[in-house]
Chain A
C-alpha cells in the first residue's frame, strides 16, 4: 500500500503528465527534424521514400563557402554593432538617474520603452513613413530646398548595417535601460551618503559608485549578447530586406529562411539551422563558463 503522502505525490505526477507530453511534442519532437539533414527532403514524399544522402548536405557548406562567408560577415557585423550598443542603455540609465523631476523621469521611461512593444512589421511601417522617398524626412528636406538623394536610406547599401543597428538601438535602449534602473535602485544609499561626506560631487558619485554598481549587470548583458553572436533574429531582416540592400542584410537567420523557402532546399536549410543551434548552445556554455571563472556566478 502507498502511504497517503505518496498517493498525493503520484496524483500530482498524473496531472503533470499531459504537460510533459505537451512539452515533448512542441519543444523536443521538432529536434527530430534534424534527421532530414541526412536526407534529400521533399515535402511531397513520405519519410520512407526520401533519399538518404549521408553527409552531402554538410559537405555543401564547404562547397558554398564563399556564400557562407558573406552571410557570416553580415551576421558578425550586425552582432558586433549590437555589442557596441550594449553599454548605451547603461549610460542612459545613469543620466536618467540624475534627473530630479520625478514626473519628467517617469515620462521619459514611459515614452522610451514604447518601441519595445511593437512588432518589427510596425517598425518597418514607421520607418517607411519617415525614411521612404515620400516620407517625412525627404519631404522636409525638399521643403527646405535641400538636395535629396535618389535612393533613400532604406535602400542605401553602404549604410545598411548602421541603419539596422540604429533601428535595433531605437527599439531596445529604453527597455534595457529599465534593467539598469532596477540595479541602480539596488545600490546601497549609504554609499552615496559616505561619498558626499567625503566631498564627492555629482561626477564623483557617478564615476565611483553608480557606474561600478552597474558593472555586474553590464557584464551579464554583454555576455548574453555575445552568446547570441549568430542570432540576429529573422523578423528585422525579413521586413527590411530589399534588392538594394540584399547582400548586406543576408544574416544567417534570413539566409536559412531564403534557402528553405526561396530555393526549396529544405535539407540544406535544416543543416544550417542545426549547426547554428548547436554553435549557439556551445557559445552559451562557453560564456557561462567564463562568467563562473571570472565572477564565480552562473548566468544560466
Chain B
C-alpha cells in the first residue's frame, strides 16, 4: 500500500479530478430518469417553466388519468404477460437442450450443437423474417411475442458450460434409482443450475420487455399492443391515442379540475414503461454482471 505521505501532488490532483469526473458521469447516466420522473409528478404549468431538482407542486393527475384509460394499463399487462411467458419458456427449454448437449452418448451430438451455434451468426434479414413469421400464422398473434427466440445459442453455451462442471455423481445416483430423463432434468439438473438460470432469465426478460419491432411490424390488433409501442406511438402523436388523450383533456373541466398537459402524460408513460426495470434493477444488475463474467471466460 502506498501511504498518504508518499502520494505526490500529481496523484492527488488526479484523484480529485477522477472523483469529480466519475460523479459527473454518474449524474449524466441517472439524471434523465430522475428528470422525467419529477416532471411527471409536477404541476404541468410549473413543470413547463422548468423543474430541475424537485417536483413543482406534487401532482399525479396524469397517472390517475392514464390508469383510467383502458389502453395503457392493458398494454402494460400485455408486456408483463409476454415477458413472463417468454422467459419461462426460454429458460426451461434452452436449459433442457443445453443439458442434452452435455450427453456424450447422444448420437450426432456435435453436428446438432454446431447447427444450434451457427444460428447465432445467421441473419436472414428483415423481409425474409417477416415473411416467415407471416407464413407461420404468427401475424396478429400473441405467440409472435413468445415463440421466436426460445432456443438461444448464447444461453445454451452459458448453461451447458455450467452443467458440465456439476458433479456427475448426483445424476448417476438418480439414474441408478431408475429415474428417467425428465425426472433427472426437472428434479436435479434444473434446480442445481439455478445461478446460471437466474442470469439467463434476466437476459431473456430484459430483451423481451424491451423488444418492439415484432409488435410494430406484425401486430395491428389493438388488444395485443405492448407498452413500448404505445409509448412510441404517443411520443410521435399517433392518431388514436392522441385523440383519446385530447378527449380526456377536454373532459378534464367536468368535475374536479385536473392538471394535465401532453408533456406530463408523455413523461408518465415513460416512467411506467421503465418502472419494472428499475424495480428489479438490483437483481438484474447482479445477474447481468455474472453473465458477462461467464461469457468473458467462455469467449
Contact = CB atoms under 8 A, between A and B. Distances in A.
Interface of A: 5-6, 8-13, 15-16, 19-20, 22-34, 36, 41, 43, 92, 95-96, 98-99, 104, 107-108, 110-115, 117-119, 121-122, 124-130, 134, 136, 139-140, 143, 170, 174, 178-179, 182-183, 196, 201-203, 217, 220, 234-235, 238-239, 256-257, 260-261, 266, 269-270, 272-274, 276-277, 280-281, 284, 299
B179 interface: no
A165 B184 CA distance: 49
B244 to A, nearest CB: 18
B210 A118 contact: yes
A140 B128 contact: no
A7 to B, nearest CB: 9
Contact of B210 (A33, A119, A126, A143): A119
A227 B266 CA distance: 38
Contacts of B35: 129-130, 136
Interface in B110-131: 112, 115-116, 119, 121-131
Main DSSP-derived SS at the B contact region: helix
A15 B112 CA distance: 12
B29 A30 contact: no
15 contacts: A16-B100, A19-B100, A22-B150, A23-B116, A28-B122, A111-B26, A111-B30, A113-B285, A136-B52, A170-B28, A178-B289, A182-B293, A238-B213, A269-B125, A273-B127
Nearest to B32: A126
Contacts of A276: 125
A33 B32 contact: no
Nearest to A29: B132
Nearest to B6: A201
B33 A114 contact: yes
B299 A33 contact: no
Nearest to B106: A12
B247 interface: no
A279 to B, nearest CB: 11
Contact of B212 (A99, A121, A126, A272): A121
A34 B124 contact: yes
B123 A33 contact: no
A260 B127 contact: yes
Contacts of B119: 23, 27-28
B188 interface: no
Interface string B153-197: 000000000000000000000000000010000000000000000
A13 B122 contact: no
A270 B131 CA distance: 11
Please provide the 6 A-B residue pairs with the shortest distance between their CB atoms, ordered closest to farther. Answer: A33-B128, A273-B125, A30-B124, A119-B210, A27-B119, A9-B105
B231 A130 contact: no
Contacts of B21: 95
Given A124-B235, A266-B127, A9 B103 contact: yes
B159 to A, nearest CB: 13
A108 B28 CA distance: 11
B29 A111 contact: yes
B126 A234 contact: yes
B213 to A, nearest CB: 7
Contacts of A96: 22
Contacts of A125: 36, 231, 235, 266, 269-270, 273
Given A8-B105, A16-B100, A140 B231 contact: no
Given A30-B132, A299-B299, A118 B277 contact: yes
A27 to B, nearest CB: 4
A33 B135 CA distance: 11
Nearest to B128: A33
B292 A129 contact: no
Nearest to A174: B29
A284 B235 CA distance: 37
A202 B2 contact: yes
Given A12-B106, A122-B273, A235 B124 contact: no
Contacts of A284: 121
B250 interface: no
B19 A119 contact: no
Nearest to A235: B213
B116 to A, nearest CB: 6
Contacts of B97: 16, 19
Contact of A143 (B18, B50, B232): B50
Interface stretch (B8-16, B56-64, B68-76, B80-88): B8-16
Contacts of A110: 281-282, 285
Given A125-B235, A126-B270, A140 B25 contact: no
Contact of B52 (A12, A20, A140, A196): A140
B127 A33 contact: yes
A179 B292 contact: yes
B67 interface: no
Counting chain B CB atoms within 10 Å of each CB, the highest count among A15, A27, A34, A239 belongs to A27
A134 B45 CA distance: 12
Given A99-B19, A129-B35, A140-B52, A270 B128 contact: yes
A19 B108 contact: no
B100 A98 contact: no
B91 interface: no
Counting chain B CB atoms within 10 Å of each CB, the highest count among A98, A114, A128 belongs to A114
B205 to A, nearest CB: 10
Interface in B83-109: 93, 96-97, 100, 103, 105-108
